[in-house]
Amino acid sequence: MAILSGRITVGTAATELPVTCFQPWTLDVKNDDNTDAVYIGGPDVTTADGLRLSKEEHISLRMTPLDRLYAVSTKAGHTVSYIRHTQVC
């Protein structure tokens, strides 16, 4: 199983999580902040329409090779962790 993990800092503009794969894959995303929510979605995600991850909440998403995920926050310096895992990549 190929595993890739990392952490990015997002702010008030949508930021792409730097994770891709040539095969179907699973992406686990965790809001590392202990006070505020982070919002995930497509390239135009906002805090008004994104999927809300409350403080320290996580989600597991099944992704395909063309899928990309973006995150945005109401503040600068918001940390998000991720793990990509797949059988082959």
Around Cβ 75, how many Cβ atoms within 10 Å? Answer: 13
- Residue-wise pLDDT for 28-54, tens only, equals 999 999 999 999 999 999 999 999 999
Tell which CATH architecture fits domain 2-86: Sandwich (2.60)
Listed by start position, the domains of the chain span 2-86
pTM of this structure: 0.92
The per-residue pLDDT for 22 is 86
- Residue-wise pLDDT for 54-77, tens only, equals 999 999 999 999 899 999 999 999
Find out whether 26 and 84 touch, Cβ atoms under 8 Å: yes
Find out whether 81 and 30 touch, Cβ atoms under 8 Å: yes
